[in-house]
Amino acid sequence: MADLAALAESLINGKAPEVKEMTQKALDEGVAPGKVLNEGLIKGMNVVGEKFKNNEFYVPEVLIAARAMKGAMGILKPKLAESGVEPVGRVLIGTVKGDLHDIGKNLVAMMMEGAGFDVVDLGIDVAPEKFAAEAQEGDVVAMSALLTTTMTAMKTTIEALEEAGKKDKVKTIIGGAPVTQNYADEIGANGYARDAASAADVAKELIDA
Ligand code: B1M
């Protein structure tokens, strides 16, 4: 009998081969892919997020858990699509123009995936026009910046979305070491998050609003 609590526990402990095996076993036993995702993987990733927020876990533990999640998602994704399970929403994420830092952005992407979002990662040094061109109605557009000199590109990106007529059709969320809630308010971003786990929470709140 598939034990989804044990699957969540293995994910929290970052045991990639075990997580993959248990995911496959659950599917083979006929557990619905959506149930494996929600009651196994996402449940585990939520705990990882909480531990990260509370400083019980640090970046390496989160990366290891996220890698385990990715491995299992490789098996689960086609099954989810077949069974018609819709993602929570779509997140278009990137590090803004001029900025090459991607460790924090990758963590945010992984936590978003862990929360059930379909994540499209545009990478680093993403031009405002690129964000604007790729954004689709209903998206959460997530921007990361690590430099005081590049965080201004978040403003330019929001302006580019506005010019493309997409600003009101998406939700924007920003974050990164120099970024603050005040800055988000100043440039008209819909949300701000200080860490990767909170970013997934804020994204969920934004699409539910
Ligand atoms: Co750079 N760098 N760096 N660097 N680098 C910093 C950011 C810096 C603070 C170091 C320092 O001087 N003390 C400083 C910025 C100063 C400033 O502007 N305030 C700096 C500088 C100056 C530079 C260069 C200009 C150095 C140079 O060449 N003279 C250069 C710029 C290159 C460029 O981007 N154009 C540069 C280059 C690099 C490397 C390439 C060597 C490397 C990046 C490698 C990579 O990312 N693949 C690098 C690194 C590693 C750092 C430090 C050491 C670590 C950054 C990191 O990955 N932290 C950093 C100093 C430091 O922070 N101690 C530094 C771990 C990561 C998990 O945290 O990214 O903050 P962070 O993400 C967090 C939150 O911020 C948040 O969630 C994450 C997890 O909790 N978050 C979001 C991030 N994005 C979010 C988005 C959200 C929500 C939350 O919503 C969408």
Residue whose CA is closest, atom 48 of ligand 1?
Answer: 101
Range of the domain at 12: 4-82
Spatial contact of 154 and 94, defined as CB atoms under 8 Å apart: no
Q: Are residues 73 and 95 in the same domain?
A: no
**Ligand 1 centroid, distance to 63 Cα (angstroms):** 16
Of 26, 61, 82, which one is at a domain's C-terminal end? 82
Q: What is residue 105's predicted lDDT score, i.e. its pLDDT? A: 93
pLDDT of residue 169: 97
CA 178/CA 189 separation, integer angstroms: 15
- The model's pLDDT over 35-49, given as tens digits with 9 standing for 90+, comes to 998 899 989 988 998
Decide if 146 contacts 177 (C-beta within 8 A).
yes
Probe residue for ligand 1, chosen from 91, 92, 101 as the CB with the greatest number of ligand atoms within 8 Å: 101
Q: Are both 122 and 37 inside the same structural domain?
A: no
Asked if 59 and 100 sit in the same domain, the reply is no
Same domain, 100 and 169: yes
For residues 185 and 94, what is the distance between their CA atoms, to the nearest angstrom? 20
Q: What phi and psi, each to the nearest 5 degrees, are found at residue 150?
A: -105, -15
CA count, 13 A, side-chain hemisphere, 161 = 29
- Give the model confidence (pLDDT) of 1-14 as tens digits: 789 999 999 999 99
Indicate whether 75 and 35 sit together in one domain. Answer: yes
121 and 60, same structural domain? no
Is residue 80 within a helix (H) or strand (E), and if so which, with residue range? helix 59-82
- Whether residue 63 sits in one domain with residue 95: no
- Based on the structure, what is the number of domains in the chain? 2
Residue ID of nearest Cα to ligand 1 atom 35: 99
Instruction: Determine the residue of 146, 149, 151, 154 to mutate for testing ligand 1's pocket, defined as the one with the most ligand atoms within 8 A of the Cβ atom.
Output: 146
> Which pLDDT does position 84 carry in this prediction?
73
* pLDDT beyond 90 at 87: no
Asked if residue 36 lies in contact with residue 12, where contact means CB atoms within 8 angstroms, the answer is no
Q: Name every protein residue with a CB atom under 6 angstroms from any ligand 1 atom.
A: 59, 98-105, 107-108, 142-144, 146-149, 173-178, 193, 195-196, 199
User: For ligand 1, what atom is nearest to the CA of residue 199?
Assistant: 88
Residue 139, classed as helix, strand or coil, is coil
Single out the residue in 82, 98, 115 at which a domain terminates: 82
Which strand (E) or helix (H) includes residue 143? strand 140-144
- The crossing angle, in degrees rounded to 10, of helices 196-208 and 103-114 is 50
Q: Would the pLDDT of 79 be above 90?
A: no
Single-letter amino acid, residue 97: K
pLDDT score at 103: 84
Q: What is the pTM of this model?
A: 0.88
Question: For the domain that residue 146 is a member of, what is the CATH number?
Answer: 3.40.50.280
Q: Does 96 lie in the same domain as 40?
A: no
> Which protein residue has the closest C-alpha to ligand 1 atom 68?
104
